[in-house]
Amino acid sequence: MLLLKSRVFFRILPLILMGALAVPMLGAQQSVPQKPTEPAVEPEAGGPAADPGAIALPKRKAAEEAPAPAPAEPKVINPEGMGNITLHVNVPEVTVDVGVLIEKNHQFVPGLKPSNFKVYENGIEQKVIGFKRVEAPVTALMLCEFAANSYAFIYDMKNAAYAFAQQLRPQDYVAMMTFDMRTQIVTDFTQDKRQLLDGINILQIPAFSETNLFDALSESIDRLSRVEGRKYLLVIASGRDTMSRLTFDKILKRVKASRDITIFTVSTGGFVRTINEGRGGMMGAMRDMTYLQADNEMRAFTTATGGLSYFPRFTGEFPDIFRNIDQSIRAKYQLIYRPTNAQQDGSYRKLRVAVVDEEGNPLRIQDEKHKPLKYDILARDGYNARQQVE
């Protein structure tokens, strides 16, 4: 029994010794004072320090002061029972193209100043607020009589059309229409002179002998009214009207009411009319009266729009005529004024333009030999005021 206890004692003795040695080691480990840790120094903003450690972000600056808000718009409070009020001011302006041409050779008179012009509307002088000399490309419609009458009229018409085509420039827009009983579009508006010449060449055999000039004029005005800017209507015809639906008074009213359209007329058949004038008894007298009436009607159309009328007798006159027309079309003075009568009632206003000197007297023009020269003032004789739409 004693021997058994001894054996057990010696077996557990190593374990007891190992436990006894372990306790001082643990105590020694706990009793060793630790070296105090130095506080970490954060690097300054702008980059890492020697020891990277933690990365420092730049300190956010204080928010800048926000700009002061814009002052609120003042609010207008209407009186009770009154709605919003809108003020609309419309000040009309009138533009008048004026040509001043020497009567003898139809040359344009240059060098005039704003003080040389006076504009009268219904007899009341207007103040000119705008003035300039203009020379712009031409937009024109050529209306030619092509009817089954004497070939002399067709011959003159074609020669006149050729002469006009020779005056055209590359920037010009021109269209061509013919008429007898009804109108026919030969060429639409084009800048190609060859198309216009080809259109003249195809006019060979007319269909009817009637010449409905008034209806053709009305259709031409309708067509030109859709074109912006200044337009010109060149009428090459005998001037006779046989069976138009419109009367002379109605077409003249339409001509006067047209906007930005100037009419020039060139009469045909002058040579035949001259050699037959005064012949044929009563029928011849009636024929002569018909042509005289036609001439007066052609003049009325041009006078109402500020154009010119020509009545040549020989073919050789056409180049000079169309040279004069070209010059009077391209070179003009443009006057702008605000009418004293600002009512937009659609009424017709009579216009008159005078050319004066520095003292207000009628301007006198002399040639190089100091001889007085007569001149023509080309301007519309009136216009229709705009109609106020209610």
Instruction: State pLDDT tens for residues 193-246.
Output: 999 999 999 988 888 889 999 999 999 999 999 888 889 999 999 999 999 999
Q: In Å, how far from its chain's centre is CA 1? A: 138
Say if CB 139 and CB 131 are below 8 A apart: no
- d(C-alpha 255, C-alpha 194), whole Å: 31
Classify residue 244 as exposed, middle or buried by CB count within 10 Å of its CB (0-12, 13-18, 19+).
buried
Contact 267, 320 (CB under 8 A): no
Reported as a single tens digit per residue, the pLDDT across 38-90 is: 555 554 544 445 555 555 555 555 545 556 666 666 665 655 655 555 444 45
> Is the torsion defined by CA of 326, 327, 328, 334 positive or negative?
positive
* Beta strands at 117-121 and 124-126: parallel, antiparallel or unpaired: antiparallel
69-73, 89-93, 264-268, 278-282: least confidently modelled range = 69-73
Segment 182-192, tens digit of pLDDT: 999 999 999 99
pLDDT in tens, 332-385: 899 999 999 888 888 899 999 999 998 889 999 988 888 888 988 888 888 888
Confidence band, pLDDT 50/70/90 cuts, at residue 101: confident
